[in-house]
């Protein structure tokens, strides 16, 4: 993921309030070098005012997990949903036959491919689905019809 960063120079931009000034004092800006505009673009060094605990550029996952989600939960905008609850929700829907596109929408994923890659191991066994489809179309094998479940072999 590419980050677009704005250069921050404390000497060029005065702090807008006491909280910002306190933040800059406690966590001074750090310089990072990132590719610019494209993944293989020229490296550009920028000064970041906000960064991770490891003093690296913030990415979407870090920001969502460690900054936005706790703030939204504290403000009672979002429920405090544990990842295990999302996993259980996804597994129940997939076991019940829900399709990946719908599950992706329910979970708030913008890409059904991401949902498929994340939850594919929960998909019901395709052999079981095929067997159930055939049984539904033709009915289950009757007792004593000579079908012992063995696969016929051509000789």
Q: What is the pLDDT of residues 1-11, one digit of tens each?
A: 333 444 444 44
Reduced to 3 states (helix: H, G, I; strand: E, B; else coil), residue 18 is helix
**Sign of the C-alpha dihedral, residues 137, 139, 145, 147?**
positive
Q: Which two tokens stand for residue 87?
A: 């996993």
Cα gap 79→82, rounded to integer Å: 9
Cα gap 99→33, rounded to integer Å: 42
- Vertex 107 angle, CA 103 and 110, to 5°: 90
- Report the candidate in 113, 89, 85, 87 with the shortest Cα–Cα distance to residue 100: 113
In this predicted model, what pLDDT tens digit does every residue of 20-71 receive, in sequence order?
A: 888 888 888 888 888 888 889 999 998 888 888 888 877 777 777 887 888 8
């Amino acid at each position: 993921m590419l980050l677009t960063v704005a250069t921050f120079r404390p000497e060029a931009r005065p702090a807008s309030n006491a909280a910002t000034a306190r933040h800059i004092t406690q966590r001074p800006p750090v310089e990072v070098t990132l590719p610019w505009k494209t993944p293989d673009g020229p490296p550009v060094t920028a000064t970041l005012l906000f960064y991770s605990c490891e003093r690296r550029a913030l990415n979407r996952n870090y920001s969502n997990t460690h900054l936005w989600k706790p703030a939204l939960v504290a403000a009672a905008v979002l429920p405090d949903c544990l990842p295990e609850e999302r996993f259980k929700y996804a597994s129940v829907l997939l076991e019940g036959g829900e399709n990946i596109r719908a599950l992706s929408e329910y979970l708030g994923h913008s890409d059904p491919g991401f949902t498929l890659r994340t939850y594919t191991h929960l998909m019901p066994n395709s052999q079981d689905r095929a067997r159930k489809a055939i049984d539904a179309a033709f009915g289950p094998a009757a007792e004593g019809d000579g079908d012992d479940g063995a696969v016929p072999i051509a000789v």
